[in-house]
Amino acid sequence: MLPDAVEHHHPALAHQFDSLAQQREAAALGMWVFLVTEVLFFGGLFATYAVYRWWYPDAFAAASHELDILLGGTNTAVLITSSLTMALAVHSAQLGRRRLLLLFLIATMALGCVFLGIKGVEYYHKFVEHHVPGPGFEFEAAYARQAQIFFSLYFIMTGLHAVHMIIGIGIMLAMFWMSWRGRITADYYNPIEVSGLYWHFVDIVWIFLFPLLYLIGRHA
């Protein structure tokens, strides 16, 4: 018998780790490695954006004017607020406050849904205005072709971001279920912490998308 080992073994501690702290560190580190691949995934699109904006600055400015700053700005505020509720959810988990954790997870999911709703309204406007790239695309003649490139990038970048939001909400649902079942404690909250990292990453992507898509050449 190994009384010491039995005594110190926490049910949430996987056998390959020495301690809960080491296990938590490994989880966060693994998530960060994944997020770096995500940074480069989005990075390719940002590089594409940089090249085309360098080539067609006037068309990009003209096309950017068609986006709604109020809706885009509101969505930025909504996402930043959801990052706050996410940070507070992790905080509640660290303190083992289950009720508060559940509430903050709901708030985060609700704000995520508000973001997607506003995004949907914006997409709808673009369909009505014939600003969706393709045969039905309409724009002032001088910039028609180049503006299609801007709107292609707009839909691909915001669309990929929206897919990440949907996945994020799915992850939050799983976190809600785990927390509801009492599997998250002050000793073991790695899933909440790691999900939070993902949520904040998606927020950061939008922090760059907002000025680069909505705010070009507004002073002209």
Partner 1 sequence: MSQTHVVPTRVYYTIFAILMFCTYLTVQVAFLDLGALNTVAALAIAVFKAVLVVLFFMHVKYSTRLTWVVVIGGAFWLGILLALTMTDYLSRAWGTFG
* 108 within 8 A of 172, measured Cβ to Cβ: yes
* 32 within 8 A of 197, measured Cβ to Cβ: yes
65 interacts with partner 1 by CB under 8 A:
no
Which of 1, 6, 14, 54 touches partner 1 (CB under 8 A)? 54
Q: What is the CA radius of gyration of the chain?
A: 22
Q: Could you please report the per-residue DSSP string of 151-183?
A: HHHHHHHHHHHHHHHHHHHHHHHHHHHHHHTT-
Region near partner 1 per CB under 8 A, out of 38-46, 110-118, 158-166, 171-179: 38-46
15 interacts with partner 1 by CB under 8 A:
no
Report the Cα–Cα distance between both ends of the chain, in Å, rounded.
78
* 87 within 8 A of 133, measured Cβ to Cβ: no
State the nearest-atom distance from the C-beta of 79 to partner 1, in Å: 10
Q: Which residues are CB-neighbours of 74 under 8 A, at least 6 positions away?
A: 118
124 interacts with partner 1 by CB under 8 A:
no
State the nearest-atom distance from the C-beta of 42 to partner 1, in Å: 9
Nearer of residues 69 and 160 to partner 1, judged by Cβ:
69
Site of interaction with partner 1 (CB under 8 A): 10, 19-21, 24-25, 28-29, 32-33, 35-36, 39-40, 43-44, 46-47, 50-51, 54-55, 69, 73, 76-77, 80-81, 83-84, 86-88, 91, 94-95, 187, 193, 196-197, 200-201, 203-204, 207-208, 210-212, 215-220
